[in-house]
Homo-oligomer: A and B are copies of this chain.
Amino acid sequence: MFDPTPILSGDRRALARLLTRIENGAPEAEAALAALFPHTGRAHTLGVTGPPGSGKSSLVNELAKALRARGQTVAIVAVDPSSPFTGGAILGDRIRMRDLSGDRGVFIRSMASRGALGGLARATSEVVTALDAAGFDKILIETIGAGQAEVEIARAAQTVLVVEAPGLGDDVQAIKAGILEIADVLVVNKADQPNADAAVRALRASLDLAHPAARHWTDGAHHHHAPHPDPLPAGEAIWIPPIVQTVAIQGKGVDELLEVIEKHRAHLQASGELARRERERLSHELETRLRDTLLAGLLARLGNGQLSAALERVLARELDPTTAARQLAERFKTQDSNSKLET
């Protein structure tokens, strides 16, 4: 029987031990997560994503420091889906350790996907569950890259920051079109570089395309901070992702960014969007777990024989994978429906 008390009361070693079990897919982790789950839902989770070279790691460090200065506790989960095999620490852990080590209000964990992407998304979500139960005020989920994998992990957070930087090249600029639509806050980091203004303008143009309703708000300077000329009721206000400029390595713009982040959290709560996102996230999680459980159950009952017989027929091109899967699943169903009809 798993005793959640140490983790709930802030025991860091018990927490670290559980996270290792989660990452290793250890069976004990499941009972632990079940016991911790009722104590979750309090943390503000932030996804931080953006292309390589945008300075995400430095920004996350500075955010953590600024949050600590305001008395909030911070957990950082640095996820690296692009490193499926090596599991190396390429997320600037050393820089982090120098600035933040020794502070018990900060907890840092790096994760690399050793196996499938699905496994990483699941482990990340379980790690966030544990950190939430452990009582951290803010959980920063940092992903490297800007692909679909990163997007899927980041969007599980309540507030999504997409970080850009000037001069990352046209291809990188093109990539961001896809992630713009999940951004709650856009950050142009390295804003002291000469071409920063061009990057902000390009981002604003893309943003206007992605949020056509906002187009008429974008004429004035600082349009992203300006209130809507004809304000909607607070509970229904539309959130237009603001663009915040930072120079993370000098700590510039970080306080402003933090203010915007808190505003977004308030918006989520007031508008009912927080509840909607939570429902979507947990519904997706429930479905994923169902898939895993059903497959494991079928495989345990079929035994290896029937599965490999089906695979041999697929390899011989006698049967396509979809039909083979349907036939295997059908045995399950037929048996079960018969039992229903007969009783």
Asked whether A30 lies within 8 Å of B322 as measured between CB atoms, the reply is yes
Tell me the chain A residues, 52-77 only, with Cβ under 8 Å from chain B: 52-53
Known contacts A41-B317, A174-B90; A181/B282 CB under 8 A: no
Task: Decide if A94 is an interface residue (CB 8 Å cutoff).
Answer: no
Q: Does A193 contact B (CB under 8 A)?
A: no
Bound CA span A54–B222, Å: 36
Is A278 on the interface with B (CB-CB < 8 A)? Answer: yes
**Which of A5-13, A213-221, A335-343 is near enough to bind chain B?**
A335-343
Q: A291-B295, A320-B37, A335-B340 are in contact. Are A177 and B86 (CB under 8 A)?
A: yes
Give the chain B neighbours of A52 by CB distance below 8 A.
51, 169, 171-172, 174-175
A332, CB-defined interface residue at 8 Å: yes
CB atoms of B282 and A322 under 8 A apart: no
Q: Point out which of A39, A321, A325, A335 has the most chain B C-beta atoms below 10 A from its C-beta.
A: A321
Mark the stretch among A139-147, A224-232, A246-254, A265-273 that contacts chain B: A139-147
Please state the number of chain copies in the assembly. Answer: 2
Knowing A285-B321, A335-B339, say if A145 contacts B146 (CB, 8 Å): yes
Q: Which of B117, B290, B333 contacts A152 (CB 8 A)?
A: B117
Point out the residues of chain B lying under 8 angstroms from A297, CB to CB: 329, 332-333
Chain B residues lying within 8 Å of A170, measured Cβ to Cβ, are 53
A328 at the interface (CB under 8 A from B): yes
Does chain B have a CB within 8 A of A23? no
A326 at the interface (CB under 8 A from B): yes
A333: shortest Cβ distance to chain B, in Å? 6
Q: In the bound complex, do residue B148 and residue A81 qualify as a contact, i.e. CB atoms below 8 Å apart?
A: yes
Q: A311 contacts B290, CB within 8 Å?
A: no
**Contact B82 A147, beta carbon cutoff 8 Å:** yes
Q: Inside 8 A of A147's CB, which chain B residues have their CB?
A: 81-82, 145-150
Residues of B within 8 A of A279 (CB): 311, 315
The A109-132 residues at the B interface (CB cut-off 8 A) are: 113, 116-118, 120, 129
Q: For A83, give its contact among B120, B149, B177, B340 (CB under 8 Å).
A: B177
A18 at the interface (CB under 8 A from B): no
Complex Cα spacing A155 to B328, Å: 26
Q: Are A86 and B178 also in contact (CB < 8 A) when A148-B120, A311-B282, A336-B332 are? A: yes
Query: What does the 1/0 interface line of A304-340 toward B look like (CB < 8 Å)?
Result: 0001001100110111111111101100110110111
Q: Does A88 count as interface, using CB distance less than 8 angstroms?
A: yes
Which of A118, A310, A322 has the most chain B CB within a 10 Å cutoff?
A: A322
- Chain B CB within 8 A of A33 CB: yes
Tell me the smallest distance from the CB of A50 to a CB of chain B, in Å.
11
What is the chain B residue whose CB lies nearest that of A38?
B317
The 29 listed contacts between A and B (C-beta, < 8 Å) are A37-B319, A37-B321, A38-B317, A80-B178, A81-B148, A81-B149, A82-B147, A82-B148, A82-B179, A84-B148, A84-B178, A90-B177, A117-B152, A129-B320, A149-B149, A286-B310, A286-B314, A286-B325, A287-B295, A290-B325, A290-B328, A290-B329, A293-B325, A294-B332, A297-B329, A297-B332, A335-B340, A336-B339, A339-B342
